[in-house]
Amino acid sequence: MHPETRRQTTRLFVALQYGEQLAHQCALQQRHWINDRRAGRFLKIQAAQEATHAGFYRRAAEWLSPGHRESVPAALRTYGTQLQRALQHNDLSDSLTGSQIVLEGFGEQIISRLNRGMDNYGVGFKRLRRILLRQERSHYAFGLRTLQQQADQSAAIGKRLPELASGYLLQVNNIINEMSDVFVSLDEDPDEYCHDLRRSLPTWLLPDNA
């Protein structure tokens, strides 16, 4: 692997590790807010999976660049601050939108789109990446079902969800801009990511101008 590709891929894994840590925190707290045993059990399992994912990305970054640590992108830290604020406010709708929907959806886009590029550059971890992708999709589906239930039960929540999604999507766009070199180094078009993420969302979760 070319040294620059190795560095940029390390940056990607560091960012993914941080995202998984955020998702882990969210799932741990959300399970105390949902009065449903099956959902609570799912979130407990999700929290454990997110911790495993974070550990995988940390080890992958260390394997690619031993003794060197890349910084978490500033835009991603800003996203984390926004999501942690939702947790501090005990806001289930906000945290579900930011974590299970936009963050998990973005992570799924990255892994699914970059898997081929990672294979071409010999990044490895193919089997683990497939498992992670399958689990990310299950987390995303859970988030959609839960938010749909909330929207069905409360018109106010249903009206608020597109606004929440819009705010997180804007932060994703900032992350993509900051990390554009990462995607270009793996022969990907950064501009396609936010477009594909928006296209994957159901219409009831999109802002009117999306």
Tens digits of residue pLDDT in 151-200 = 999 999 999 999 999 999 999 999 999 999 998 888 888 888 888 888 88
On whether the pTM is more than 0.85, the answer is yes
Cα maximum dimension of the chain:
53
Name the CATH code of domain 3-202 (choices 3.40.50.300, 1.20.1260.10, 1.10.10.60, 1.10.10.10).
Answer: 1.20.1260.10
Q: Which of 153, 15, 138 is nearest to 73 (CA)?
A: 15
Q: How far apart are CA 38 and CA 99, in angstroms?
A: 19
C-alpha distances (whole Å) from 9 to each of 80, 167, 174, 199 are 21, 27, 19, 26
Count other C-beta atoms under 10 Å from residue 90's C-beta.
Answer: 12
Q: Is 205 within 8 Å of 147 (Cβ atoms)?
A: yes
Q: Is 143 within 8 Å of 100 (Cβ atoms)?
A: yes
